[in-house]
């Protein structure tokens, strides 16, 4: 049986520009299989994460968002990040007021 790790955290860990970008990406065929728009945020699927981080960078995702994802992948070994506006803010991670 395969086990996947999901991190649920606040949307405050990315910028308002990232929010707009993720909203757009979630509606495009190229990205909609791994950037999912949910009721109060987004789910990002991090399998094949190197390629996906490069795509995020090429689309204009902030360095803060990409760094946050890398830290979660490498240190916490997460496979999915569920950003929710009502979720907890992670200590020692950058936050944005928007």
Query: Are 42 and 22 spatial neighbours (Cβ–Cβ below 8 Å)?
Result: yes
User: DSSP class of residue 14?
Assistant: S
pLDDT tens-digit map of 87-97 = 999 998 999 99
Q: Looking at 1-98, which runs of residues are DSSP E strands?
A: 6-10, 35-38, 41-45, 80-84
What pTM does this model have? 0.93
Residues 6+ apart with CB under 8 A from 33: 45
pLDDT tens-digit map of 21-35 = 999 999 999 999 999
Residues 6+ apart with CB under 8 A from 1: none
């Amino acid at each position: 049986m395969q086990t996947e790790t999901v991190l649920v955290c606040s949307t405050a860990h990315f910028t308002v520009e990232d929010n707009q970008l993720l909203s757009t990406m979630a509606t495009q065929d190229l990205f909609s299989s791994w950037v999912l728009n949910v009721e109060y945020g987004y789910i990002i699927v991090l399998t094949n994460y190197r390629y996906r981080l490069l795509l995020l960078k090429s689309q204009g995702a902030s360095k803060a968002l990409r760094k946050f994802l890398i830290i979660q992948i490498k240190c916490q070994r997460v496979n999915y990040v569920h950003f929710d506006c009502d979720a907890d803010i992670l200590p020692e991670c950058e936050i944005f007021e928007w």
